[in-house]
């Protein structure tokens, strides 16, 4: 790798980091807005340090969740996170698990029948391709 490639890679990393930081800031602002709206709705006051703490916890939880979802997908041999990964991530919380399963079922019900069939066909093709590639090794 020459110096130009290293510079480009470093610039791309910095750009990714700044984009991630921007998303975190937007997420924090959204959490703060939700906390303040809930406090107002319930005729309560919420202190600035508590709001900051809640937003930091939400960001840390989101980071942890994202890492877990990536690991579930990777373990299944996929590069893309799917709904089953989300269901797996909720397994420690019975209420959350029930809500996520319900949401998954609603989303499946709303999905057009033809799209569901094409996804099943793709999965079968992927499985066949994967099986064929494993036998060639």
Kindly state the percentage of the chain with pLDDT values over 70: 74
Q: Please calculate the CA angle 124-130-135 and round it to the nearest 5 degrees.
A: 125
For 78-112, what is each residue's pLDDT tens digit?
999 999 999 999 999 999 999 999 999 999 999 88
pLDDT > 60? residue 127: no
For the domain covering 22-109, report its CATH number.
Answer: 1.10.20.10
Q: Let me know: does 86 contact 103? Beta carbons within 8 Å.
A: no
DSSP code for 111: S
E strands along the chain, which residues?
Answer: none
Long-range Cβ contact pairs of 34-40 (< 8 A, separation 24 or more): none
Domain ranges of the chain: 22-109
pLDDT score at 112? 82
Residue range 64-79: mean pLDDT, rounded = 96
Block residue for tokens 């709001």: 51
pLDDT score at 133? 40
The number of beta carbons lying within 10 Å of the beta carbon of residue 31 is: 19
């Amino acid at each position: 790798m020459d110096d130009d490639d290293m510079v480009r890679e470093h610039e791309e990393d910095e750009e990714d980091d700044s984009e991630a930081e921007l998303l975190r800031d937007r997420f924090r602002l959204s959490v703060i807005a939700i906390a303040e709206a809930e406090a107002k709705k319930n005729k309560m006051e919420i202190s600035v340090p508590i709001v900051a703490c809640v937003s930091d916890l939400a960001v840390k939880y989101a980071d942890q969740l994202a890492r877990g979802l990536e690991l579930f997908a990777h373990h299944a041999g996929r590069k893309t996170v799917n709904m089953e990964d989300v269901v797996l991530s909720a397994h420690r919380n019975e209420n959350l698990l029930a809500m996520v399963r319900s949401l998954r079922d609603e989303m499946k019900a709303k999905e057009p029948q033809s799209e569901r069939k094409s996804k099943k066909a793709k999965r079968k093709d992927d499985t066949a391709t994967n099986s064929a590639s494993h036998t060639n090794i």
